């Protein structure tokens, strides 16, 4: 985690929850466009890799949950896999984001719900994904425990999240782009005054991949590991719920 002197609510708590929910509701109409523009379309590749890491082939007719599903792109990438004939639910607490996803006619069931208090019984899902969502949670540990609760024994969680590249000169270039260029482009196209300042600041405040992997282990996940993507701009984390319920 890197120190910032942010005035935005990037630390956990009720302020962050309210800010994040309203901010995504506000930027929903421009979210997909800006995602693809700002990442030069690499976000599509990361989502495909995240779906591959889920190992849904072990249960192609299973039930899967995409959390912080936004405009449903990650959920749809799973639902549209050749050979997949299960059920994919996409949960998000910002309704306008889900509505944008539904307008794309995705084969995903949208659920307007908070990832910290999911409306599902324990051990309901054969796997779960979170794309660029855990960083936004108002209580990361509570979110991880909630994911653990709704997974069946042996089921896998995949978390896709931004991180910062370690290798210079990519690191310097990345910081320049992320802190100086991206907020300007984001503000120009979204007309939102803070959303694209929140993005880099929340990434810098989020635990580095090693520390996040440790939080996953502490929440009770097994076989936790991660792979850095595209020079370390983001990471795909993987973990499994143990074979028996262990009181988490």
Could you give the dihedral angle defined by the CA atoms of residues 70, 106, 159 and 63, in that order, rounded to the nearest 10 degrees? 120
The helix/strand/coil state of 137 is coil
User: From CA 163, how far away is CA 146, in angstroms rounded?
Assistant: 23
Pick the binder of ligand SAM from 9, 110, 127, 131 (CB under 6 A): 131
Instruction: Outline where DSSP puts E strands in 70-216.
Output: 87-92, 109-112, 125-131, 151-162
The interface region with ligand SAM, picked from 81-89, 132-140, 187-195, 229-237 by CB under 6 A, is 132-140
Pick the binder of ligand SAM from 9, 10, 19, 24 (CB under 6 A): 24
Q: Is 68 in the site for ligand SAM (CB under 6 A)?
A: yes
CB-nearer residue toward ligand SAM: 70 or 186:
70
Residue list 166-225, contact with ligand SAM (CB under 6 A): none
Q: Is 73 in the site for ligand SAM (CB under 6 A)?
A: yes
CB of 182 to ligand SAM, least distance (A): 13
DSSP one-letter code for 226: E
Do 65 and 74 form a contact (C-beta atoms < 8 A)? no
Pick the binder of ligand SAM from 51, 115, 140, 213 (CB under 6 A): 115
Structure-token pair, residue 108:
């995903």
CB of 201 to ligand SAM, least distance (A): 14
Task: Provide the pairing of β-strand 125-131 with 234-240.
Answer: unpaired
Pick the binder of ligand SAM from 137, 159, 204, 224 (CB under 6 A): 137
CB of 169 to ligand SAM, least distance (A): 27
User: From CA 167, how far away is CA 29, in angstroms rounded?
Assistant: 35
Do 206 and 1 form a contact (C-beta atoms < 8 A)? yes
Query: Which residues of the chain form contacts with ligand SAM (CB under 6 A)?
Result: 20-21, 24, 35, 68-70, 73-74, 92-94, 97, 114-116, 131-133, 136-137
């Amino acid at each position: 985690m890197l120190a910032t002197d942010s005035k935005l609510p990037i630390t956990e708590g009720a302020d962050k929850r309210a800010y994040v929910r309203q901010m995504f509701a506000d930027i929903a109409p421009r979210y997909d466009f800006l995602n693809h523009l700002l990442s030069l379309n690499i976000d599509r590749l990361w989502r495909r890799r995240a779906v591959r890491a889920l190992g849904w082939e072990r249960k192609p007719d299973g039930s899967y949950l995409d959390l912080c599903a936004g405009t449903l792109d990650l959920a749809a990438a799973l639902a549209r896999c050749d050979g997949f004939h299960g059920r994919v639910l996409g949960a998000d607490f910002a309704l306008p984001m889900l509505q944008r996803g539904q307008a794309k006619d995705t084969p995903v069931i949208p659920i307007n719900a908070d990832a910290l208090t999911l409306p599902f019984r324990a051990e309901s899902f054969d796997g779960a994904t979170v794309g660029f969502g855990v960083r936004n949670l108002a209580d990361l540990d509570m979110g991880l425990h909630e994911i653990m609760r709704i997974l069946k024994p042996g089921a896998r969680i995949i978390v896709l999240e931004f991180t910062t590249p370690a290798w210079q000169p990519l690191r310097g270039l990345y910081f320049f782009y992320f802190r100086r260029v991206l907020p300007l482009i984001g503000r120009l196209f979204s007309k939102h005054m803070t959303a694209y300042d929140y993005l880099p600041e929340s990434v810098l405040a989020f635990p580095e991949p090693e520390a996040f992997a440790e939080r996953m282990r502490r929440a009770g996940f097994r076989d936790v590991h991660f792979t850095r993507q595209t020079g370390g701009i983001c990471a795909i984390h993987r973990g499994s719920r143990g074979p028996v319920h262990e009181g988490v």
